[in-house]
Amino acid sequence: MITIDFDELTEGGRVHNLTGRDLGRRAREQLNLEELDKSDDEVRILVPDHIYLITPSFFIGMFAASVSLQGSLDKFFQKYKFESEPSVLRQVHDAAKRVLSVANKGASAPF
Amino acid sequence: MDTICYDIGPYLLLGVMRQHMIPNCDGGIISQGLSKVLQAVQLDRLFDMATVKHFDGDVFPFPLKTGARESTDETHFGVTTKQRAVDQFVRALEGWLAKLELGISPDGRGHIGEIIGEAIDNAERHSGGTSGEGRWWMAGFMTTRYKANGAATYHCHFGLLSLGCSIADSILLAPDEIRKQVVGYTQKHKSKNLSEGTLAATYALQDGITRQPPGGVGMMSLLDMVSVLGKTDKGVKASVAIVSGDACILAREPYIQPSLELSDARTLWFNESNSESEKPSEDFVKTLPYNFPGTLVTLRFQIDPDHLKRLVRGSKRKHDNN
């Protein structure tokens, strides 16, 4: 299993939120999610307790393509296992649902 | 001359404009109440105002923050100005509520942070157009005012300004299916008093209407937050003003709380039946005689501690019953 620690994205707790589509996109590139999406590996996402917020735009920038590729919430969360505070987990679930509802409508989404 | 600050938005805008004006004018008169607020939120720096010592501490500021869309080709993650601003805003609001012996749950903290974070993200990405800088400024404060009987009331103000594209300019860059909806609405309701730009901005406020789907829930979430936090039967009613392009949209009672449709999308059409097929009320949606190059969102609401305590008790009961 591969582990991604979101603490890195906050430079060890200098901020307590992950906000913005650009930051999400940058994280996706830096962490090679494109490659991870294609692999059979499961990915453990560690969200430290000091992070209280992952915004939908950050999630979309980082994971929208992964959610669309997996095609369902179950499959996405089987591959990407988030370990976080319950409130943050709810934010992640809501954002993933939103991505999927747009993907299912077949909208031309410029993720 | 305003004796107190009724709205932070115009001062934010004037402060930013002043940076680009030839300094031909100097001096002027300002009330003590207003000077105290501008100093507390650090807008006095933009006005080059003389510092006056104020002794009463009844202004709790969220000082001026500014930032812009940051380069996306960096090789390290870096912490952005936007992330710092979100944390600072959430801390400020927590501090304001703590003074009234109210707290925020982890979900509440996340919800408020999300609304502000998404608002700044929109300001950066949308006002900057497809390649622009997307610069923004924001500031706010809570102040205590006293009634004749000595009872304290608590008033919150917040403004977010971005320069560049307006909401109408930006939404017309949306994918075809969204753009068609916007154009359909503007063609149906345009009139001598309501321009296509004003109607496009009104349409863009609704859930799911965004230049870059999925998303587009920020403005309805902001209105939801203000209408919940600012609900009171006995004081100043909450209001949100949005000035963008030639649109001036004022959300206040009875048109401030979005309603949830069957499709899970919230809407606010500024008419009695909250219907997309009817034109918005011209008392709330207006076309300005000029074009503002950007977007100013400014809000004010009174915190009624009794209302919020009732709300918390109600949601705890609901949670326990579930």
Chain A positions in Cβ-Cβ contact with residue B212 (cut-off 8 Å): 21, 109-110
A109–B175: do the CB atoms touch at under 8 Å? yes
A102, B214 in Cβ contact below 8 A? yes
Q: What pLDDT does A110 receive?
A: 37
Q: At residue B20, does pLDDT exceed 60?
A: yes
Q: What pLDDT does B154 receive?
A: 93
Q: At residue B13, does pLDDT exceed 50?
A: yes
In the predicted model, what is the mean pLDDT of residues A2-17?
94
| B57-109 residue pLDDT tens | 789 999 999 988 875 445 566 788 999 999 999 999 999 999 988 889 999 99
B242, B295 in Cβ contact below 8 A? yes
The lowest-confidence range among A20-34, B1-15, B124-138, B180-194 is B124-138
Q: What pLDDT does B310 receive?
A: 83
| B281-315 residue pLDDT tens | 999 999 999 999 999 999 999 999 888 888 777 76
User: Where does the pLDDT of residue A109 fall: very low under 50, low under 70, confident under 90, or very high at 90 and above?
Assistant: very low
The lowest-confidence range among B16-20, B44-48, B77-81, B237-241 is B77-81
Give me the count of residues in chain B: 322
Distance separating alpha carbons of residues B10 and B18, to the nearest angstrom: 12
Gap between the terminal Cα atoms of chain B: 53
Cis peptide before B254 (omega within 30 of 0): yes
B87–A16: do the CB atoms touch at under 8 Å? yes
Give the chain B residue nearest A100 (alpha carbons): B214
Q: At residue A89, does pLDDT exceed 90?
A: yes
Where helices occur in B215-304 by DSSP H, the ranges are: 218-229
Residue B62 exposure: Cα atoms within 13 Å on the Cβ side? 29
| B188-224 residue pLDDT tens | 999 999 999 999 999 999 988 888 877 778 899 899 9
More confident residue, A73 or B150: A73
Q: B-contacting residues of A 27-66, CB under 8 Å?
A: 27, 30, 52-53, 55-57, 60, 64
Closest by Cβ to B110, choosing from A23, A52, A98: A52
Q: What pLDDT does B265 receive?
A: 83
Distance separating alpha carbons of residues A10 and A28, to the nearest angstrom: 15
Which of B114, B130, B180 is the mutation pick for testing A, counting most A CBs within 10 A?
B114
Tell me how many residue pairs between chain A and chain B have CB atoms under 8 A apart.
Answer: 116
B55, B78 in Cβ contact below 8 A? no
Q: At residue B125, does pLDDT exceed 50?
A: yes
Residue A20 touches partner B, C-beta closer than 8 Å: yes
Structure tokens at A17: 């939120």
Q: How do the domains of chain B map onto residue ranges?
A: 165-322
Q: Which amino acid is at B238?
A: A
How many contiguous H segments (helices) and E segments (strands) does chain A have? 5, 5
Q: How do the domains of chain A map onto residue ranges?
A: 2-104
Give the chain B residue nearest A13 (alpha carbons): B79
Structure tokens at B155: 């008033």
Closest by Cβ to B106, choosing from A56, A85, A109: A85
Q: What pLDDT does B55 receive?
A: 63
A64–B214: do the CB atoms touch at under 8 Å? yes
Chain B positions in Cβ-Cβ contact with residue A25 (cut-off 8 Å): 72
Closest by Cβ to A15, choosing from B83, B124, B214: B83
Sheet holding A80-83, edge to edge: A2-5, A43-46, A80-83
